[in-house]
Amino acid sequence: MNTQEVVIVAENVQKWYGKFQVLRGVSLTVHRGEVVVIMGPSGSGKSTLIRTFNALEEHQQGRIEIDGIALTDDLRNIDAVRKDVGMVFQQFNLFPHLTVLDNITLAPIWVRKWSKAKANEVAMQLLERVGILEQAQKYPGQLSGGQQQRVAIARALAMQPKVMLFDEPTSALDPEMVREVLETMKTLAADGMTMVVVTHEVGFAREVADRVIFMDTGVIVEEATPTNFFQNPTQERTRKFLSQIL
């Protein structure tokens, strides 16, 4: 793992929703194999920021590059970047009318142009990796929330992304299912996946993150190793936030 290799560069990223400036100059570099956790109060712009990394949201100023490809208005670039950026949402977003297997193979078949046989083979390997091989022929509605989220992770991995973005992946889960999803993410990190994770799971951040970033009102307020972040936060706003969640 070459940790000097850069996967995500965001430089002075600014974004408005109408007149409201949601991102007010965010700069961030993520290296290959790094796990970056983003924390911050609700409404601070965490989701918006990571959604700009695969152009689900458009930024108006600043520069974003994913694995050397600039996210500009050029649709070819946007398509190229989306192939390389896996995303996992709070609300799973699985296709309810497709089996688990078909949920996973859809994009590889249509976007990567894989044969059905190859896509199925890779999907089965991924289902095994996330520990739900036996659920392949079921529909999302027949699975628990934790299992559905692991399908969502497998589906994102099927595109062989260079980076995985997670937006509060355990926030919609019943408490007993949080652990299985965090364990899956932990394994992924240990295998060297580059990850940006919006989460308030302190245990995960402490154990898995290389860096923790704290956002408030559309800016990065603090950026530190997990140890420093949780034990010696330098900013008053970080301390206040931590006193609420710890």
Residues of this chain, 10-49, that bind ligand ADP according to CB under 6 A: 17, 22, 40, 42-48
Nearest-approach distance from CB 187 to Mg ion, in angstroms: 24
The residue of the chain with the least Cβ separation from Mg ion equals 47
Q: Decide: helix, strand or coil at residue 171.
A: coil
Closest contact distance (angstroms) between CB of 42 and ligand ADP is 4
Q: Which is nearer to ligand ADP, 114 or 166 (by Cβ)?
A: 166
Which positions touch Mg ion (CB under 5 A)? 47
What is the closest distance, in whole angstroms, from the C-beta atom of residue 1 to Mg ion in the complex?
A: 29
Residues near ligand ADP (CB under 6 A), total: 10
Exposed e or buried b per residue across 173-210, where buried means at least 16 C-beta atoms within 10 angstroms of its C-beta: beeebbbbbbebbeebbeeebbbbbbbbbbebbeebbb
Task: Estimate to the nearest angstrom the gap between the alpha carbon of 106 and the chain centroid.
Answer: 20
Contacts of 92 (CB under 8 A, 6+ apart): 140, 145, 148, 149, 151, 152, 172
In the complex with Mg ion, which residue's Cβ is closer, 7 or 165? 165
The DSSP letter of residue 201 is: -
Nearest to 86 by CA among 210, 195, 173: 195
Q: Which is nearer to ligand ADP, 43 or 203 (CB)?
A: 43
Question: Per-residue contact track with ligand ADP, 43 to 82, x per CB under 6 A?
Answer: xxxxxx----------------------------------
Q: Which does residue 103 bind out of ligand ADP, Mg ion, none, counting CB within 5 to 8 angstroms by kind? A: none
Asked if 218 and 45 touch (Cβ cutoff 8 Å), the reply is yes
Dihedral of CA 8/157/151/187: which sign? negative
- Rama region for 80: left / alpha / beta (φ>0; ψ in -120 to 50; rest): alpha
From the list ligand ADP, Mg ion, none, partner contacted by residue 48 (C-beta under 5 to 8 A by kind): ligand ADP
In the beta sheet, which residues pair with residue 163? 85, 194
Residue 44 or residue 120: which is nearer to ligand ADP going by CB? 44
Q: Which is nearer to Mg ion, 47 or 54 (CB)?
A: 47
- 89 or 204: CB nearest ligand ADP: 89
Sheet arrangement for strand 20-31: 20-31, 6-17, 61-66, 69-70
Least distance in angstroms from the C-beta of 220 to ligand ADP: 12
| Shortest separation between residue 53's beta carbon and ligand ADP, angstroms | 12
Q: Choosing among Mg ion, ligand ADP, none, which partner's interface includes residue 43 (Cβ < 5 to 8 Å by kind)?
A: ligand ADP
Q: Which residue has the tokens 């290959």?
A: 32
State the Cα–Cα distance between residues 30 and 15, nearest whole angstrom: 20
Of the two residues 44 and 105, which places its CB atom closer to ligand ADP in the complex? 44
- Footprint of ligand ADP (CB under 6 A): 17, 22, 40, 42-48
